[in-house]
Structure 1
Amino acid sequence: MAGTDYAENTISMHDHEEKTDPENGAQPDSILSGMTEQDPEDARDRIPRDVPKLADAGPPDGGTAAWLVVLGAWCCSFSSPGWVNTWTNSIALPPGVGSFQQYYEVGPLKDYSTSTIAWIPSLQLFFLFGLGPIVGIIFDRYGPRVLIIAGTLFHVFGLMMASLAKTYYQFILSQGVCSAIGVACLYTPGKFDLHSLPRLFYADGVWYDEALACVSTWFSKRRGAAMGIMVTGSSVGGVIFPIMISRMIQSTGYPWTIRTAAFIILGLQVIAILTVRPRTKPVPKKMPADRLAAPFKELPFVMLLLGSFVLTYGIFVPVVYLASQGFQQAHMSEEMVQYLVSIFNAASLFGRLSAGYSADIIGRWNMYIIACALSGISIFAIWIPTTHSSIAIGFAIMFGFTSGAFISLSGALPIEVSPPPEIGYRLGLVLLSISIPALTLAPIGGAILQSSANGWLNVKIFGGVMCLAGSAIVLASRWLYTDKKLLKVF
């Protein structure tokens, strides 16, 4: 396997250097010390000038500065995926229930179909994941502050313009493009901290893990707790925003609802701008051009990309249509259906935390596959026969809990199997595989829903099949990566 072979080559290089020390035959304590004892000048000549030095005391693992960074990243998480969770679910609510859909279908966009209007939230999801590679490169070169400032300006300005929009293209540009670009910029500092990945040390044509120096993280022993706190921001935002929006649209109208949300986001992002900063200066790593095609020549990784692509369709079907189905099929009251999205996001909060903890015990790939398969099973077992409000609430809780692993562990899978110089690139490919279904799901789902009298049944079957099929494809990828060992912690 690519990741395994890479690690073995690194170890063998290390062992070779230790055994052939010409000076005294002693085994050096590290790769760097072994090279220095052989010939310090030659060793320095072989190291690129932009390689970070090993002079670092390590992460503080706490303290005011470290926890302020967690606070700022939490604000980013609240303002970006927390907002998208709300917006994606609210667009599917039917007219008559306090939602964006009510304003669009009854107001300025009454001449457009539900499927056409669905392109607005779909664009937000597409930019959220599709811009991941570009935003990651900027983050790796310049750090988080430039992204947070740019993301705040785009996100808030887009929402303010949306409050003034009257035509379809104005809503597309303001919410579907401008605000979405801002969300993508805020998502990387709040979710995928590329600097938390191991820094690399280069010598004799080989890249070595520089994890011992811990130059790029604020936490070491308490990293799990810090990351767990940070990722709750999106779920908390997904709980607060739906309730606030559904109430305010009915009482104050759409324009001031959007402006109020924009002011809240602006206040949180001011905190993020003042608190989030890298502990060390960013040092970008370059990857040889001939390695760009390497992931596509690796069958297990291609299957991972395909599995992520298929799974996104399955996971996002209930995310987009949960509230609308509860209102139309489960006969939920207008007041209760407004809280269904918040219930889903609250369950997702506990699902993400539990998935992260369990992944450390049974393996990230194993946890991801199990959780996604359970999501598909819950669609067939609970969502398809849902005709009562209590069952709809139960499904929202169960699916929110199981699907939380899809969001929290999607980025961890490629990191587990990628050679260090390709980690960022391969992570970007996985995000791209998620972005395309995110863009097309709502229009496809809307077309399926309107195609026949059994539209809801067809939508549910589509979601369940995609979840199980995607889980099976990722399982096949894992089977190949582990040399066909199904009981291995991986």
Structure 2
Amino acid sequence: MVRLFDYWLNPEHHDYNTLPTSSSTLCANSAADHLSMVSSLALDAYDDDGDSGFDPDAVTLVDEKAAAAAAAAAAAAAAAHPQHTTYQTFVCDTDFTDEELLPDVGFRPWLSVIGGFCAQFCCFGFLNTIGIMLAYYQTHQLSLMLPSTVSWIGSIQSFVVSISGLLCGRIIDMFGPRVLTFPGALFMFFGLLGTAFATEYYQFVLLQSLCASFGAACLFYGSTYALSTWFSRYRGVAFGVASCGSSVGAIVLSLITGRFFGAGSGDMGFTHGMVVVASVIGGLGVICALTTRPRLPPVGRQPFGFTKFYVRPFRDPLFALFTGAMFFIYAGIFVPMAFLSTTAIMAGVPTAEAFRLVAYLNVGSLIGGIGIGVCVDLVTNKFLAFSAVATGTGAVAFPAWGLLSRYYDGAASPLPAYIVIALAYGFFSGGVLATYPVLVAQLCPSPRSIGTHMGAVSGIVSFASLGALPLAGSIVGETGNFTGMQAYSGAIVMAGGAVSGLVGFAMRRRFARAG
């Protein structure tokens, strides 16, 4: 308990920084000498006559000499590296390139999980309610526009969150995550607050799609980097718990927006609802900024080096192949989230109930994020497990969604079918979004490059998310071709699952050669 309070009150003494190999050797030798001395002194703890009588005075002498030996070992280690404390030397002497030695437990690592939870609440919790937002815009402020045009608001939103990784990842590696998390909370708050009073198409694009989305990206990438540096063995669990923020956020925000948007008070209901959403997200964004702290210190100012830092990772063929898999997945995974409420309304589900489908989807995502995250930690080849989950996501999008919606077409109440689809799709898609950062971190040569590698992947997949919703909207068109949209979403996500499976088989051969 004393050490815990000392750790909390004096975090600068316990930065989990790395020590050179010579320091590790010195500490190991000193500890070995100390144990050897204690063992030899213990043999002398019997009386001089050689019988088995226990001599308390000798035991006291052992305690005094053992304490002196331990103090001498600590002093030698401190003299070799005076910038480190004794606590650091004996507890935290880890090489950051050796993932087996990452802390994984303790107060500070799990505090970063809280920060990740809040960031996911703000970022993907709001992104997952895009279906409610688009459905409302299409029937109110932007009712004269085509669905494919309105869907650009959601596409640009996803694109900005993804493409910002190119900038955010490099800044985080150089200066740490806090330089972005505090401004990110402000960007999200003021962007959503302005959206509450928007009435024109360009206003929604500037405030929601650009300003608020950039803030969401700052929170997400900052917390993801910090979380990756604290965990190795339980990395999947940590990311699974943090990803629950996405599901909880979408549930809470969908209930808020559903309550205000369906209140029958016209534009004032929308305005009040968005003010509440902005307040909730702004508060949690500040909590994320306060709790996000990485294990490793930033490397400091460096040349941006776009080619060096963002092109070089793709020389690893497995990293390039997995990025391609994520491109396919991002081209389709958000389509059901955006169009589920719209298809339910077209099928005869009441508007209020259709908006609540987003909450059901995120209940499934909550279960899938934790459950699949735990399962991924239990398997050696995480890429094959990810492939199975991604394939299941595509199978739920199509044919399951299409078959159930056709079966209940014309029924008195198609709502049960849509609830089943929402729960199932949320379960699998939540597992995909929760575990893919774990796989990116596994492909990184060092934890210090996690931010840059995440940015490289995000920069590629951003173009997939940019065109996904407009393409799906154009497939739907004015005739309401939702079956074609479902087929597109399911097929392209399953293609991504197949490509990630190829990475899994290649990793299995790599493990075999290494073992």
TM-score, scaled to structure 1: 0.75
Q: Which runs of 5+ in 2 are unaligned?
A: 1-19, 28-87, 93-102, 409-413
| Corresponding residue for residue 463 of structure 1 | 489
Change (3 A) 1:270 1:290: closer
CA displacement, residues 229-252 of structure 1 (integer Å, 9 cap, x when unaligned): 332111101111111101112335
Change (3 A) 1:223 1:306: closer
Change (3 A) 1:341 1:138: same
| Equivalent residues in 2 for 1:113-192, closer than 5 Å | 113-190=146-223, 192=224
**Cα distance, 1:297 vs structure 2:** 4.1
| Corresponding residue for residue 90 of structure 1 | 132
Q: 3-state SS of the aligned residue for 2:332?
A: helix
Change (3 A) 1:365 1:437: same
Q: 3-state SS of the aligned residue for 1:475?
A: helix
Q: In structure 2, how many angstroms separate the alpha carbons of the residues matched to 1:375 and 1:267? A: 33
CA contact (8 A) 1:119 1:442 kept: yes
1:326 aligns with one of 327, 344, 348: 344
**Cα distance, 1:407 vs structure 2:** 0.5
**Cα distance, 1:440 vs structure 2:** 1.3
CA contact (8 A) 1:355 1:405 kept: yes
Change (3 A) 1:68 1:481: closer
CA displacement, residues 19-50 of structure 1 (integer Å, 9 cap, x when unaligned): xxxxxxxxxxx94469999xxxxxxxxxxxxx
1:231 pairs with 2:243: yes
1:254 aligns with one of 261, 265, 270: 270
CA displacement, residues 278-314 of structure 1 (integer Å, 9 cap, x when unaligned): 4553335979865754444444333222221112123
**Cα distance, 1:156 vs structure 2:** 0.9
Q: In structure 1, how many angstroms separate the alpha carbons of the residues matched to 2:218 and 2:464? A: 20
| Equivalent residues in 2 for 1:248-327, closer than 5 Å | 248-251=260-263, 252-278=268-294, 281-283=297-299, 293-327=311-345
Q: In structure 2, how many angstroms separate the alpha carbons of the residues matched to 1:34 and 1:56? A: 9
Structure 1, 74-83 or 299-308: larger mean CA deviation: 299-308
**Cα distance, 1:477 vs structure 2:** 3.0
**How many aligned residue pairs are there?**
415
Q: In structure 1, how many angstroms separate the alpha carbons of the residues matched to 2:427 and 2:514? A: 22
| Corresponding residue for residue 32 of structure 2 | none
Q: 3-state SS of the aligned residue for 2:475?
A: helix
Q: In structure 2, how many angstroms separate the alpha carbons of the residues matched to 1:85 and 1:56? A: 45
CA displacement, residues 416-447 of structure 1 (integer Å, 9 cap, x when unaligned): 23333754433322222321121111111110
Q: Percent identity?
A: 29
1:428 aligns with one of 455, 459, 462: 455
CA contact (8 A) 1:312 1:437 kept: yes
| Corresponding residue for residue 337 of structure 1 | 354
| Corresponding residue for residue 427 of structure 2 | 401
- The aligned amino acid for 1:439 is L
| Corresponding residue for residue 373 of structure 2 | 356
| Corresponding residue for residue 244 of structure 1 | 256
CA contact (8 A) 2:187 2:212 kept: yes
1:111 pairs with 2:137: no
| Equivalent residues in 2 for 1:50-89, closer than 5 Å | 55=89, 57-58=91-92, 59=103, 61-63=105-107, 68-86=111-129, 88-89=130-131
CA contact (8 A) 1:300 1:478 kept: no
Change (3 A) 1:142 1:292: closer
| Corresponding residue for residue 389 of structure 1 | 415
Change (3 A) 1:276 1:306: closer
CA contact (8 A) 1:69 1:277 kept: yes
| Corresponding residue for residue 482 of structure 1 | 508
Q: In structure 2, how many angstroms separate the alpha carbons of the residues matched to 1:374 and 1:277? A: 35
Q: 3-state SS of the aligned residue for 1:384?
A: helix
**Cα distance, 1:356 vs structure 2:** 1.1
**Cα distance, 1:107 vs structure 2:** 3.9
1:193 aligns with one of 187, 211, 225: 225
Q: In structure 2, how many angstroms separate the alpha carbons of the residues matched to 1:372 and 1:222? A: 21
| Corresponding residue for residue 47 of structure 2 | none
Change (3 A) 1:260 1:293: closer
- The aligned amino acid for 1:91 is M
**Cα distance, 1:66 vs structure 2:** 5.6
**Cα distance, 1:320 vs structure 2:** 1.5
Q: In structure 2, how many angstroms separate the alpha carbons of the residues matched to 1:254 and 1:246? A: 10
**Cα distance, 1:144 vs structure 2:** 2.9
**Cα distance, 1:117 vs structure 2:** 1.4
Change (3 A) 1:260 1:482: same
Change (3 A) 1:371 1:229: closer
Change (3 A) 1:302 1:170: same
Change (3 A) 1:405 1:223: closer
CA RMSD of superposed structures (Å): 3.5
Change (3 A) 1:262 1:56: farther
Which is greater in Rg?
A: 2
Change (3 A) 1:257 1:80: same
Q: In structure 2, how many angstroms separate the alpha carbons of the residues matched to 1:66 and 1:305? A: 28
CA contact (8 A) 2:393 2:428 kept: yes
Q: In structure 1, how many angstroms separate the alpha carbons of the residues matched to 2:452 and 2:113? A: 25
Structure number with the higher helix fraction is 2
Q: In structure 1, how many angstroms separate the alpha carbons of the residues matched to 2:234 and 2:394? A: 33
CA contact (8 A) 1:228 1:353 kept: yes
- The aligned amino acid for 1:124 is Q
CA contact (8 A) 1:344 1:396 kept: yes
